Amino acid sequence: MDERSVLLKQYRKFTGDDPVDIVRMPRSGSDRLYFRIIEKRRTIIGVYNPNRDENQTFIGFSRHFARLNLPVPEVLYYDKGSNAYFLQDLGDTNLFTWIERKRQTTGFDEEVVDIYRKTLDRLIEFQVRGIKDLNLDLCYPHRSFDRQSMMWDLNYFKYMFLKLIAVPFNEKRLEKDFNALADFLLEAGQHYFLYRDFQSANIMVLDKEPWFIDYQGGRLGAAQYDLASLLYDSKAHIPQQVREILIEHYIENFCEYTKVDEAQFRKQLPGFIIIRIMQALGAYGYRGLYEQKPGFVQSIIPAIRDLDGVIGSGSMAIDLPELFRIIEQIPSINRFEVLQEPEILRISISSFSYMNGIPSDRVHGGGFVFDCRCLANPGKVPQFRDLSGKDNEVIDFLKASPLTVQFIEDSVRIISKSVESYKKKNYTSLSVSFGCTGGQHRSVYCAEKVATELRRMAGIDIVVSHRDLQV
């Protein structure tokens, strides 16, 4: 019997009826299979997982967290014998996909930072409240993030990453560094719930609030590990200055909540960042280089940059000479150079009001400025005064004008020529601005429309902002 049939049979046992439909969801990095089950008034998620121990952990943890009113999906039904269970449907938007959509419009703005703050605040609740009365016998495969678990992760990095890209190293000296790092990390103790895989793909965003999934690898551990997992998630591309803001937010709240010594917490945090990135690189190597699964290889370059950045910052409280030497030489390894991708050209497109001055390109001091005041002004039409260039009525008004259509086409043509030239020269930044009288109608429409047209081009990343839009 296939997985879909198993879930259908269990659904009939659960409800006594057939669903409207049952649709296979995209496969993740695990062996679990997810289906969206469509009912008459709602949808639920059906899961088939042949790993019964993992199922027991997830179901037990979920019920424990739900009793504490922590944001996890409700377990609607579980049949141990068939390895099937049904969950509350939290939608399709996780933190990673939510950030990606924001990156295409406003970039890593305050709204993104705010949801990270909420996520970290919730994490503290899981770590501190979630561990109380938790049945640790459910933990799979290990009860705590102990020395053995750490050595598994470090050797995962060694065999599934270093050896796959053919990095030369001294086995004995590297083993000595691994043991020294484990000793250092164990000084932090193991007092909190360690989520283990706390990254953007495992955090759902529902009504602008974070909900947590995939915590079946949880166990006792140090609080620093999950902080490192979230903020050094290479797929999320969190700017370093934002990381630092969020680290300060977390440490302030965590230490106030737990009365943990802040200086000691800060001292050990870089070590946990390093081991987490190394574990992730082992996973990227195994899934991407060995299993040839798409989506994992492109995370290797930013992860190495992050690892090098932590080591280069001088914040490590212990010396790991062989490990540091290896990290330093990785970018020069031939296999690693094959993974290198050309720099992405970031195009910043903005609208503005001439009454408040022309914006400047802070990076290069150049860029394009297009004057939209030659176009018909929707602001003079009474019913459009409180709308903007994002509203359908204004859009229809502007695109009905041949002059507007030609203006957009000419702008795209001019910008496209520079984009192609910039890409050949490996430039990484281009500024484009559209101005009108009030910065509300014509400039906003042109900025949005040109951004849509330019997104058809490969190898670019576009961020749109509206400096003077007050709606």
Judged against a pLDDT cut of 50, whether residue 362 lies above it is answered with no
Per-residue pLDDT averaged across 6-16, rounded?
Answer: 95
User: Which amino acid is residue 166, in one-letter code?
Assistant: A
Q: Which two tokens stand for residue 118?
A: 């909420």
Query: Which helix (H) or strand (E) covers residue 77, if one does?
Result: strand 75-79
DSSP string across 125-140: HHHHTTTTT--GGG-S
Mean pLDDT confidence for 125-154: 95
- pLDDT by residue (tens digit) across 392-441? 999 999 999 999 999 999 999 999 999 888 887 777 788 999 999 999 99
Domains and CATH numbers, the chain: 3-88 (3.30.200.20), 95-339 (3.90.1200.10), 345-466 (no CATH)
pLDDT over 90 at 30, yes or no: no
pLDDT average, residue stretch 28-36: 83
How far is 121 from 112, CA to CA, in rounded Å? 14
Q: Give the integer Cα–Cα distance in Å for 244 and 309.
A: 13
Confidence of residue 203 (pLDDT cuts 50, 70, 90): very high
Q: Which has the closest alpha carbon to 235: 309, 155, 293, 306?
A: 306
Token pair, residue 19, equals: 């669903």
Does pLDDT of 459 surpass 80? no
38-52, 89-103, 191-205, 269-283: segment of lowest average pLDDT: 89-103
Q: State pTM to two decimals.
A: 0.72
58 near 47, Cβ under 8 Å?
Answer: no
Determine the average pLDDT of the residues in 155-171. 94
pLDDT in tens, 275-312: 999 999 999 999 888 887 766 877 888 899 899 999 98
Please state the rounded mean pLDDT for residues 67-96. 96
Whether 37 has a pLDDT exceeding 90, the answer reads yes
Nearest Cα to Cα of residue 232 among 279, 277, 287: 277
Q: Is the pLDDT of residue 31 over 90?
A: no
Q: What is the pLDDT of residue 289?
A: 84
Q: Is the pLDDT of residue 122 over 60?
A: yes
The per-residue pLDDT for range 145-158, each reduced to its tens digit, is: 999 999 999 999 99
Q: Which residue has the tokens 């997985």?
A: 3
Mean pLDDT across 12-32: 86
Q: Is the pLDDT score of 364 beyond 60?
A: no
**What pLDDT does 333 receive?**
73
CB 278 within 8 A of CB 153: yes
Higher pLDDT, 390 or 470: 390
